[in-house]
Structure 1
Amino acid sequence: GQRLNWHVFLNKIGCAFSFCRLVSCNLGEKTCGSLGLVLKLENSSLKELDLSNNDLQDSGVELLSAGLKSSHCKLQILRLSGCMVTEKGCSSLASALSVNTSHLKELDLTYNHPGESGEKLLSARLEDPHCSLETLRYKEILNEKIQV
């Protein structure tokens, strides 16, 4: 049989579907690199991405964050629960949210290890009135933007 070319497959998903759920699929850094490229595509229609319970680690989240920075990225919900993300990965995500403030509304980082500095960096994005982030989950705690 033919081997699945993840990059081609993810490219097609990103341009044809608004939702992609790849939970517990034994994914890693390479897949994140491909998904990061998909998020940069002008015709990407991906609005919700669930990569929970994969071994993405900080290196994978960095590659994904590169895609989140793109002005073409339309992602509104990103779930990375149980993906071995630490302070370094949280820093990459916070940086991406500083660059592209317009789309991501929900970020799930439960069952990771953000550390105090990672929590502070992401909470600052939540409190930023210019950032669209409304819901941030980490340490099994729900933080939401307070509507005034």
Structure 2
Amino acid sequence: MNKLRQLIPILVLLLVTSCNAHKKYSDFDYSYSRSGGFAPIYENFLIKGTDAHYSFEGQGRKVRKDYKLSAAEIQVLEDALAASNFRMIQEDRKKLYDNITTSIVVKKGANAASKSDASFIMPADQHRWNQVVKAFEALIASKTNGTVAR
């Protein structure tokens, strides 16, 4: 019984730390991710406030970095989302397999929505989707010094 009392604080500590470990990956304002393909890649760019977390795994490389973003950099994303009317972009319903898919999730602002090209984007909205993707990719390239292949 005495050993059990000694283990309880350790178990509580483990539980608390394991719950906080995934917070970086679930609490964000903007998310850009690419994954899949025949030689799978996994790329994530998560933004919360002015903090950004980038990870890339694939092509024999692993990259994990944290960055600070300026208000101007975040405004560029917001402007691209607004100009493209991101919330109104329509996804197609056709299923695609073994394709690298891009997903963008916006949890704040007037363009809050979740969109993915996993089943393509409707042809009428493809240009607007490309503009939003380019804004995220330009920000990623500026933070990673263009070291991640596209």
TM bucket, shorter chain? under 0.3
Larger Rg: 2
TM-score by length of 2: 0.24
TM-score by length of 1: 0.24
